[in-house]
Chains A and B, each alone.
Chain A
């Protein structure tokens, strides 16, 4: 009889969703085989599977293991780590270090991402400046956390690194493709810069991130949408 770990793993996700990317990275880091079920139109046409497996939030990602669903990316990441205990460990074994990893993961998800996203999608100049400052404040905490470490997880990639993948990605792509000053420039945040290089140098990570072209057009369309919305409301 196959152990529960070997039973079917599926992931309902969406290519642009950073939350889906994080879960895929975690699964691939652990070498777990899974089937990716893509949601093509989250705005207007959510699949029956998504509605069935995440009736409360109707959001991606949703991991389905042996027919049982788990939703919320941070919850999924901990589930993956506890169910498949092979290397790499996403969470360290020391309770204080675990608490720290959980704290930073939540901080990145609840504060950093929204702040950087806000900065990316705002139209007017004054709003952009204050959004940038807010994003930078959050990023400074992360910069401080990296002192003396290669990754947030120490010598190896851990949960916080996986959760912060979008931060690394934005840093590398924004300046290059957008001619936009990223909130986390290498000058202001040298440790984050070095960390992003290390992280994105891993094929498991970079294979799961959108191509720069795709990302560029996604951001462009968001900026256009925000500009149109702002013009319409004047």
Chain B
């Protein structure tokens, strides 16, 4: 039996953009795995035992050993399993992919996530921040792809995977705030990238729909918090 058939488990949910990264990476390498879905509001014993530091998903379990943090997991998958290479060969290209992945986690995602918590003018500020982030990513895509469809070139690479989990959530924000964020007239490269991503075999069967996510939020998180009293 080849390496890619060894016992692999992934603790996560279908809504988490971070879990999504791990799933795309596993799909890309044709690794079969057991998906252990967490219930909302009740962390499993396995999760708490496997990730005592953060108690968060995703957690990859390989040979009974846990690996935590989505980007750490993606790099682990790349290094352990055969198949297409996720990280580029050249150290400088790797650094650029890693830089933008860190940007996604440190700057882009917080804006995308916390827009839900604010009202009025603050919402506009967050939307501007999100759009500026997307414009930077569009520019980075041009430089990194060298005319090919993905940040990784012909194939999905590290930054493609890092960004992939946010695509459905960006579309959720578009619907909720009635705004176009992936605007092909402003960021044509990234708009085309979204289409290529959605069609990719490693992605198309697992990417959530915006409506599905909106419904999940409604059921599990309730309405957004009310504005603070004056």
Asked if A96 meets B65 with Cβ closer than 8 Å, knowing A71-B99, A75-B99, A103-B72, the reply is yes
Q: From the candidates B69, B80, B95, name the one contacting A75 in the complex (CB within 8 A).
A: B95
Q: How many residues of A are counted as interface, with CB atoms below 8 angstroms from the partner's CB atoms?
A: 22
List CB contacts (< 8 Å) of A64-120 with chain B.
65, 68, 70-72, 74-76, 78-79, 82-83, 95-96, 98-99, 102-103, 106-107
Shortest Cβ gap from B66 to chain A (Å): 10
Name the residue of chain A whose CB is nearest to the CB of B68.
A103
Question: Which residues of the other chain, A, contact B67 by a CB distance below 8 angstroms?
Answer: 96, 99, 103
* Best-buried of A65, A71, A75, A76 by chain B (most CB within 10 Å): A75
User: Would A79 and B92 count as touching, CB distance under 8 A?
Assistant: yes
Shortest Cβ gap from B127 to chain A (Å): 19
Query: What is the CA–CA distance of A18 and B28 in the complex, to the nearest angstrom?
Result: 38
User: Would B92 and A95 count as touching, CB distance under 8 A?
Assistant: no
Give the secondary structure class of A's interface. Answer: helix
Question: Which residues of the other chain, B, contact A102 by a CB distance below 8 angstroms?
Answer: 69, 71-72, 75
Query: What is the CA–CA distance of A99 and B99 in the complex, to the nearest angstrom?
Result: 18
Asked if A56 meets B103 with Cβ closer than 8 Å, knowing A99-B67, A103-B72, the reply is yes
Question: Which residues of the other chain, B, contact A36 by a CB distance below 8 angstroms?
Answer: none
Question: Which residues of the other chain, B, contact A82 by a CB distance below 8 angstroms?
Answer: 91, 94
Q: Does A141 contact B (CB under 8 A)?
A: yes
Asked if A99 meets B76 with Cβ closer than 8 Å, knowing A75-B95, A83-B91, the reply is yes
Shortest Cβ gap from B225 to chain A (Å): 23
| A and B contact pairs by CB, cutoff 8 A, 17 listed | A56-B136, A68-B92, A70-B99, A74-B98, A74-B102, A75-B95, A75-B99, A78-B94, A78-B98, A79-B94, A79-B95, A96-B62, A96-B65, A102-B75, A103-B69, A106-B69, A141-B53
